[in-house]
Amino acid sequence: MAEVPKNPALSVLDSVAAPFYHAMGMTLTRWQFTETGMFLLAHAIMETDYKYSSRAFFRFRNADAKLQFLDDLCEAHFPESIAETEWRPLQKQLKSSISFRNCLAHFEISYVRDHKYVPAGDPPVVLVPHHMEEKVRGKPMVKAVNLTELNQWGENYRALARNLISLVQRHFPLEKLRTTHLPPEWLRFLAIEEI
Protein backbone atom coordinates (compact mmCIF):
# COMPACT_ATOMS: atom_id res chain seq x y z
CA MET A 1 0.00 0.00 0.00
CA ALA A 2 1.40 3.38 -1.02
CA GLU A 3 2.01 6.00 1.62
CA VAL A 4 -0.19 9.06 1.48
CA PRO A 5 1.75 12.30 1.80
CA LYS A 6 1.06 14.11 5.06
CA ASN A 7 -0.92 17.31 4.92
CA PRO A 8 0.86 19.85 7.17
CA ALA A 9 -2.39 21.76 7.76
CA LEU A 10 -4.03 18.60 9.16
CA SER A 11 -1.04 17.91 11.40
CA VAL A 12 -1.32 21.40 12.90
CA LEU A 13 -5.09 21.01 13.34
CA ASP A 14 -4.60 17.63 15.06
CA SER A 15 -2.02 19.15 17.37
CA VAL A 16 -4.24 22.12 18.29
CA ALA A 17 -7.32 19.90 18.62
CA ALA A 18 -5.72 17.22 20.84
CA PRO A 19 -7.58 18.34 24.02
CA PHE A 20 -10.80 18.41 21.99
CA TYR A 21 -10.24 14.85 20.74
CA HIS A 22 -9.62 13.74 24.33
CA ALA A 23 -12.86 15.37 25.47
CA MET A 24 -14.78 13.72 22.62
CA GLY A 25 -13.53 10.30 23.70
CA MET A 26 -14.44 10.99 27.32
CA THR A 27 -17.91 12.24 26.40
CA LEU A 28 -18.65 9.27 24.14
CA THR A 29 -17.48 6.89 26.85
CA ARG A 30 -19.71 8.57 29.40
CA TRP A 31 -22.63 8.19 27.00
CA GLN A 32 -22.10 4.43 27.21
CA PHE A 33 -22.58 4.60 30.97
CA THR A 34 -25.84 6.48 30.37
CA GLU A 35 -26.93 3.66 28.08
CA THR A 36 -26.07 1.21 30.87
CA GLY A 37 -28.41 3.15 33.16
CA MET A 38 -31.12 2.92 30.50
CA PHE A 39 -30.62 -0.83 30.26
CA LEU A 40 -30.72 -1.34 34.04
CA LEU A 41 -34.03 0.51 34.24
CA ALA A 42 -35.50 -1.50 31.36
CA HIS A 43 -34.21 -4.72 32.92
CA ALA A 44 -35.74 -3.90 36.30
CA ILE A 45 -39.13 -3.14 34.74
CA MET A 46 -39.13 -6.31 32.61
CA GLU A 47 -38.46 -8.49 35.68
CA THR A 48 -37.00 -11.20 33.49
CA ASP A 49 -33.72 -13.06 33.31
CA TYR A 50 -30.73 -10.93 32.34
CA LYS A 51 -30.00 -13.06 29.27
CA TYR A 52 -33.43 -12.14 27.87
CA SER A 53 -33.59 -8.49 28.88
CA SER A 54 -30.10 -7.90 27.51
CA ARG A 55 -31.00 -9.40 24.15
CA ALA A 56 -34.23 -7.39 23.97
CA PHE A 57 -32.66 -4.03 24.87
CA PHE A 58 -29.47 -4.36 22.83
CA ARG A 59 -31.35 -5.60 19.79
CA PHE A 60 -31.99 -1.92 19.14
CA ARG A 61 -28.87 -0.46 17.56
CA ASN A 62 -29.69 3.21 17.71
CA ALA A 63 -30.17 5.23 20.86
CA ASP A 64 -33.51 6.71 19.76
CA ALA A 65 -35.02 3.23 19.45
CA LYS A 66 -33.63 2.24 22.86
CA LEU A 67 -35.16 5.35 24.40
CA GLN A 68 -38.53 4.70 22.74
CA PHE A 69 -38.47 1.12 24.08
CA LEU A 70 -37.56 2.34 27.58
CA ASP A 71 -40.18 5.08 27.46
CA ASP A 72 -42.89 2.53 26.57
CA LEU A 73 -41.80 0.36 29.50
CA CYS A 74 -41.73 3.26 31.96
CA GLU A 75 -45.11 4.62 30.88
CA ALA A 76 -46.63 1.14 31.29
CA HIS A 77 -44.89 0.42 34.62
CA PHE A 78 -44.88 3.57 36.73
CA PRO A 79 -47.98 5.15 38.27
CA GLU A 80 -48.76 8.57 36.79
CA SER A 81 -47.31 10.43 39.78
CA ILE A 82 -43.89 8.76 39.41
CA ALA A 83 -43.96 8.96 35.62
CA GLU A 84 -44.67 12.68 35.81
CA THR A 85 -42.16 13.65 38.50
CA GLU A 86 -39.34 11.14 38.00
CA TRP A 87 -39.40 9.44 34.59
CA ARG A 88 -40.53 12.16 32.16
CA PRO A 89 -37.87 14.70 33.22
CA LEU A 90 -35.23 11.97 32.68
CA GLN A 91 -36.80 11.03 29.35
CA LYS A 92 -36.57 14.65 28.22
CA GLN A 93 -32.90 14.82 29.25
CA LEU A 94 -32.20 11.55 27.46
CA LYS A 95 -33.79 12.81 24.27
CA SER A 96 -31.64 15.96 24.34
CA SER A 97 -28.54 13.90 25.19
CA ILE A 98 -29.12 11.55 22.27
CA SER A 99 -29.41 14.51 19.93
CA PHE A 100 -26.03 15.81 21.12
CA ARG A 101 -24.49 12.32 20.97
CA ASN A 102 -25.51 12.18 17.30
CA CYS A 103 -23.65 15.44 16.72
CA LEU A 104 -20.50 13.80 18.05
CA ALA A 105 -20.87 11.04 15.49
CA HIS A 106 -21.76 13.20 12.48
CA PHE A 107 -20.09 16.58 12.97
CA GLU A 108 -16.47 17.47 12.19
CA ILE A 109 -13.78 19.54 13.86
CA SER A 110 -13.10 22.94 12.36
CA TYR A 111 -10.49 25.59 13.11
CA VAL A 112 -11.88 28.93 14.37
CA ARG A 113 -10.02 32.02 13.24
CA ASP A 114 -11.86 34.45 15.48
CA HIS A 115 -11.08 33.48 19.08
CA LYS A 116 -14.11 35.39 20.41
CA TYR A 117 -16.16 32.28 19.55
CA VAL A 118 -14.33 30.06 22.03
CA PRO A 119 -13.94 30.56 25.79
CA ALA A 120 -10.56 31.66 27.12
CA GLY A 121 -8.32 28.63 27.52
CA ASP A 122 -10.14 26.53 24.91
CA PRO A 123 -8.27 25.59 21.74
CA PRO A 124 -9.47 27.47 18.63
CA VAL A 125 -11.45 24.51 17.31
CA VAL A 126 -15.15 23.64 17.39
CA LEU A 127 -17.39 20.77 16.38
CA VAL A 128 -19.66 21.82 13.49
CA PRO A 129 -21.95 20.17 10.91
CA HIS A 130 -20.02 18.55 8.07
CA HIS A 131 -18.79 21.14 5.56
CA MET A 132 -20.36 19.18 2.68
CA GLU A 133 -23.84 19.26 4.24
CA GLU A 134 -25.72 21.43 1.76
CA LYS A 135 -28.39 22.78 4.12
CA VAL A 136 -25.80 24.47 6.37
CA ARG A 137 -23.22 25.42 3.75
CA GLY A 138 -22.83 29.15 3.27
CA LYS A 139 -24.93 30.15 6.27
CA PRO A 140 -23.43 33.02 8.27
CA MET A 141 -23.86 31.14 11.56
CA VAL A 142 -23.85 27.40 12.19
CA LYS A 143 -24.29 25.41 15.38
CA ALA A 144 -20.86 24.80 16.90
CA VAL A 145 -19.64 23.13 20.08
CA ASN A 146 -16.47 24.30 21.82
CA LEU A 147 -14.29 22.35 24.28
CA THR A 148 -15.95 23.81 27.37
CA GLU A 149 -19.40 22.78 26.11
CA LEU A 150 -18.13 19.34 25.15
CA ASN A 151 -16.74 18.77 28.65
CA GLN A 152 -20.05 19.93 30.14
CA TRP A 153 -21.90 17.34 28.04
CA GLY A 154 -19.57 14.67 29.43
CA GLU A 155 -20.56 15.74 32.93
CA ASN A 156 -24.23 15.80 31.91
CA TYR A 157 -23.97 12.21 30.68
CA ARG A 158 -22.40 11.10 33.94
CA ALA A 159 -25.14 12.82 35.99
CA LEU A 160 -27.85 11.36 33.77
CA ALA A 161 -26.46 7.84 34.26
CA ARG A 162 -26.44 8.37 38.03
CA ASN A 163 -30.05 9.59 37.94
CA LEU A 164 -31.19 6.55 35.95
CA ILE A 165 -29.43 4.18 38.34
CA SER A 166 -30.84 6.06 41.33
CA LEU A 167 -34.34 5.58 39.88
CA VAL A 168 -33.69 1.83 39.75
CA GLN A 169 -32.39 1.87 43.33
CA ARG A 170 -35.44 3.74 44.63
CA HIS A 171 -38.14 1.67 42.93
CA PHE A 172 -36.79 -1.86 42.50
CA PRO A 173 -35.72 -3.96 45.50
CA LEU A 174 -32.26 -5.43 45.21
CA GLU A 175 -33.50 -8.84 46.33
CA LYS A 176 -35.92 -8.95 43.43
CA LEU A 177 -33.16 -7.94 40.99
CA ARG A 178 -30.98 -10.78 42.32
CA THR A 179 -33.57 -13.29 41.04
CA THR A 180 -33.06 -11.95 37.48
CA HIS A 181 -29.41 -13.12 37.34
CA LEU A 182 -28.07 -9.64 36.76
CA PRO A 183 -24.24 -9.91 36.72
CA PRO A 184 -22.79 -9.82 40.27
CA GLU A 185 -20.75 -6.66 39.65
CA TRP A 186 -23.95 -4.76 38.80
CA LEU A 187 -25.77 -6.15 41.81
CA ARG A 188 -22.87 -4.92 43.99
CA PHE A 189 -22.98 -1.55 42.26
CA LEU A 190 -26.74 -1.21 42.80
CA ALA A 191 -26.26 -2.10 46.48
CA ILE A 192 -24.16 1.04 46.98
CA GLU A 193 -26.31 3.67 48.68
CA GLU A 194 -24.74 6.72 47.07
CA ILE A 195 -23.37 6.61 43.54
| Between residues 41 and 189, the one the model is more confident about | 41
Q: Identify the pLDDT of residue 6.
A: 58
Tell me the β-bridge partners of 120: none
Q: Identify the pLDDT of residue 4.
A: 47
Q: Identify the pLDDT of residue 8.
A: 56
Confidence of residue 115 (pLDDT cuts 50, 70, 90): confident
Confidence of residue 134 (pLDDT cuts 50, 70, 90): low
| Between residues 126 and 93, the one the model is more confident about | 93
54 has a pLDDT exceeding 90? yes
